[in-house]
Amino acid sequence: MQIVVLDGFALNPGDLSWEGLNKLGECRIYDRTKPDEIFDRIKDATVVITNKAVIDEKLIESLPVLKYIGVTATGYNVVDVQAASRKGIVVTNIPAYSTDSVAQLVFAHILNVANRVEMHAASVSSGDWAGNPDFSYWKTPQMELAGKTLGIVGFGRIGRKVAQIGSAFGMKIIFHNRSLVTDVPAEMLQTTLNDIFSESDVVSINCPLTPENIEFVNEQLLRKMKQSAILINTGRGGLINERDLAIALNSGIIASACLDVLSTEPPKADNPLLSARNCFITPHIAWATIEARQRLMNITIENLNGFISGNLQNVVK
């Protein structure tokens, strides 16, 4: 069985092992694959492992021996699943491997805005404290999270984990979900999207991107937010109208935005958020802790093992 990994570098830049995958067949691993290189690399493959390399209908139709596509991510929009199904090709994904890591980055961003620890540490290193007439100083307003309202959009695994951490900080938790949540914790309130944006001190977006919610965070919704509010997005960049958010930040409609995702990744140089006021952007790293990537590797191997043995798991429809 020939196994081809099209874009393995993001999952494993060298700090993990491919040994488990190598044991399952003849394995060729590419760090990255350009679109015009994909066919030549997988034309004889039985198994293809991909993260961002697109496997569309035209490509699927041209691959006579392909039997399995493993997506090393939760989202699987890079594969034409219907075309694969018509040809009897199994497609799997990796659900719920990064819940703790994503929720952790949500609060890394929140705490960055609340305390600006790195800025103050750099200030001390540069001699500002040694030359200060007072025992204490701060370069930005310091914020206490206890008592603040945390609004969460999307109450799946990650949204629930964010709520749990926020509750531990003493925050009031409100949330909105596209379907009714029946097992709501007693101290949390399910409410409308408008209420989330108008009442929250911090809004955390943790929902998937669907055709119905593309750019739902727009000027109209942003104008409902408090001027002191923080917007966090670790979901998908396409959930936000980036031009509207840049205008909201630069004009002081909201205080700050913290983003781990953008609509195009890597971003184009003219993305207005790259130069927007109080916009803190990380390069899609919420999933990238070594612990989460090890789980991702382990489940990738388990998924393929399941396909080989006939005990399928994590199959997408």
Just list the catalytic residues: 236, 265, 284
Amino acid at site 170 = G
CB 71 within 8 A of CB 303: no
Neighbours of 45 (CB within 10 A): 23
Decide: 56 and 32 in contact? Cβ < 8 Å: no
DSSP per-residue letters across 227-263? TT-EEEE-S-GGGB-HHHHHHHHHTTSSSEEEES--S
Distance between CA atoms of residues 222 and 197, nearest Å? 7
Determine phi and psi for 206, rounding to 5 degrees: -135, 30
How many alpha carbons fall within 13 Å on the CB side of residue 279? 26
For residue 103, CA distances in Å to 155, 163, 182, 206, 232 come to: 12, 9, 22, 9, 11
Q: How far is CA 295 from CA 99, 165, 292, 310, in A?
A: 11, 22, 5, 22
The CA distance from 314 to 28, in Å, is 23
Sign of CA dihedral 78, 287, 95, 107: negative
